[in-house]
Amino acid sequence: MRVMLTGANGFIGRALETRLLSSSEYELIPVVRHEIDGLKSAKWVGDIDGSTQWSSVLDAVDVIIHTAATVKAEKHSDSSPMSEFRRVNVEGTLNLARQAAQAGVRRFIFISSIKVNGELTLLGKPFTPDDRPLPQDSYGISKYEAEVDLTHLANETGMDVVIIRPPLVYGPGVKGNFASMVRMLEKRIPLPLGTIHNKRSLVALDNLVDLIVTCIGHPGAANQIFLAGDGDDMSTTELLQRLGRALGKPARLISLPARLLTFIAALLGKKAVAQRLCGSLQVDISKAREILGWEPPITVDEGLRRAVEGFKN
């Protein structure tokens, strides 16, 4: 099966490329925006937007996995951040999908985001794929708009569209807030997060990759939306404790009431950070289990161990 992978040099793309190349079942076409050292075999197509020409890489492709996206818009003098998100995440995605349908591609797998569902859940009431979307920021809105356009295109053309919405993804090479958390634990910095009673769903990189690969050929995946996750939700306190064990450096946690922590963070202009640390965001992965027969292949603790190993290396 001939599979084209966009964003092959990204965090998720690199792991997908490794997995697909390890199987004789797939002929992989890795695609990047620009020529990159170390990825000499990759095809490059330039900037991804509504005018990108994909014909040179679509020949005889069966399935496309579209991971390429803008997660942090660069503001140009003549455009707003929202327009930048739409240029790549909406117009770029739909342009690729249209050309894919015309070229006879059978399935288009779109890596979206749990931000389409929203930013927070009530404790014990996880997001499901059927919930009414409530994206809050420009990135989430752009991903939702792309999903809507892809669904219309699937109805018009008959090309299968599979949408996967992951929450925070962690694994070797992870950056952002997760990497900052690892650095603080490694330095044994005391953190005022010892009594946080929220629940958050994460997804290990290897688990997400396994779900994506499952969707390549599974007939039940056609025109479905799946939420990705490890199936083991944790409080922020528990995450830090388990991450500390993976590091071999027990977390130094100070007990501070969540309300007080949120109040202090708001005074410091860090309300959004406190929301992520103290609020709940849970996802229900039962649809993937029931339709695809999928189970996360590795545990949270193994995923954290692999993330820490990658961090140390």
Q: Which residues are catalytic?
A: 139
Residue 229, token pair as written in the block: 């996750």
Please give the Cα distance from 143 to 303 (Å, whole number).
26
Please give the Cα distance from 115 to 110 (Å, whole number).
14
Please give the Cα distance from 302 to 313 (Å, whole number).
17
**CA-based radius of gyration for the chain:** 20
Residue 176, CB-side half-sphere exposure with 13 Å CA sphere: 11
Please give the Cα distance from 222 to 109 (Å, whole number).
9
**The residue to which tokens 């958050």 are assigned:** 200
Q: Is 37 left (phi over 0), alpha (psi -120 to 50) or beta?
A: beta
Cβ neighbours of residue 35 closer than 8 Å, sequence gap 6 or more: 44
Residue 17, token pair as written in the block: 């490329």
Tell me whether residue 292 is exposed, middle or buried, using C-beta atoms within 10 angstroms of its C-beta: 0 to 12, 13 to 18, 19 or more.
middle
Assess contact for 207 and 297: CB atoms under 8 A. yes
Q: Is 86 left (phi over 0), alpha (psi -120 to 50) or beta?
A: alpha
Q: What is the DSSP letter of 136?
A: -
Q: Quote the strand ranges of the chain, DSSP E.
A: 2-6, 27-32, 43-44, 63-66, 107-111, 160-165, 168-170, 202-204, 225-227
Residue 137, token pair as written in the block: 């920021």
